[in-house]
Amino acid sequence: MRRGSAPSQLVRRPARPDTECMSREREHAHPVFAQVYRLVAAAGERGGFAQVRASVLADASGRLLILGLGPGHDLAHLPAAVTSVVAVEPDPSMRALARGRVTACPVPVTLLSADAHALPLADGSVDAVLCACVLCSVAQPPRALAELRRLLVSGGRLLLLEHVAAPPGHWVGRLQQLLQPVWGRAAGGCSVRRDTWGAVAAAGFDVTAVRTAMVWPNLPPVAPTVLGTAVNR
């Protein structure tokens, strides 16, 4: 299969492709943030985040969905057990930044413009999903997580690498509360105040192996970080 072409048995066609696609692209277009994030993500890779990404991705195998691909750094850390990737990215600027890494990826990658709330993929069509710094940005995490459960096979793995809210009363939590109004506008709708562990557990995943830690180089306000593998039971 050519890179960038969608396998027909996997991808469902939207009802009104042109209108849906245009309004989604408008809603998710953050060209300035994409350029800032390009620099931040590249610096993060050099500063130790590459190893963190690789350790989270080590649990992936088979057909992997990457939600919110961004500039695509995760594609450089896929374990050999991953056989194909569907990468979802609604922001056209981010997709443009990811193209080189999509082309260089050693396994077939299908890059889709789609929204986490309504993914054009068939039930039980993926073995693993990666959410890296994306559940902070989706508008309705419970709806997105319900979609991920639908797409995952039973026993499928949800790999998490997400910055979350600090515990109540902690100084980092107060900093997050203070910065959130400006941060959300500047960083493409990102929230630094999400309880992602709680949301994933509430969605019905087994979160026994998911931990919360301070992970270098994620610094406040984008700390602490939830990382590990949740299981679709």
Q: How far is the CB of 202 from ligand SAM (least distance, A)?
A: 18
Each residue 116-145 as x (binds ligand SAM by CB under 6 A) or -, in order, gives: xx--------------xxx--xx-------
Between 31 and 155, name the residue whose CB sits nearer to ligand SAM.
31
3-state secondary structure the chain: CCCCCCCCCCECCCCCHHHHHHHHHHHHCCHHHHHHHHHHHHHHHHHHHHHHHHHHHCCCCEEEEEECCCCCHHHHHCCCCEEEEEEECCCHHHHHHHHHHHHHCCCCEEEECCECCECCECCCCEEEEEEECCCCCCCCHHHHHHHHHHHEEEEEEEEEEEECCCCCCCHHHHHHHHHHHHHHHHCCCCCCCCCHHHHHHHCCEECCCEEEECCCCCCCCCCCEEEEEEEEC
Interface with ligand SAM, residue 37, by CB under 6 A? yes
Interface with ligand SAM, residue 73, by CB under 6 A? yes
Q: How far is the CB of 169 from ligand SAM (least distance, A)?
A: 27
Between 134 and 210, name the residue whose CB sits nearer to ligand SAM.
134
Interface with ligand SAM, residue 77, by CB under 6 A? no
* CB closest to ligand SAM, residue no: 70
Q: How far is the CB of 94 from ligand SAM (least distance, A)?
A: 4
User: Which of the ranges 64-72, 104-112, 166-174, 207-215 carries the binding residues for ligand SAM, by CB under 6 A?
Assistant: 64-72
Between 37 and 197, name the residue whose CB sits nearer to ligand SAM.
37
State the residues that interact with ligand SAM by CB under 6 A: 28, 37, 41, 67-68, 70, 73, 88-91, 94, 115-117, 132-134, 137-138, 188
